[in-house]
Amino acid sequence: MDQEKRQSIARAERAASTVLRDHGVHGTPINAVKLAEALGYDVYQATFKDGAISGGVNFQKNGGRIYLNQNDSPTRQRFTLAHEIGHCVLHRDKHENGILERIDMFRDPENHSQEEVEANAFAANLLMPEQLVREMWKRWGSTEILADIFKVSLSAMSYRLYNLHLKGDW
Active site residues per annotation: 84
Chain centroid offset of residue 86 CA: 7
Look up residue 70 and give its DSSP letter. Answer: T
CA distance 34 to 110: 31
- Cite the beta strand spans of 6-139 per DSSP E: 41-46, 53-60, 63-69, 98-102
Chain centroid offset of residue 149 CA: 16
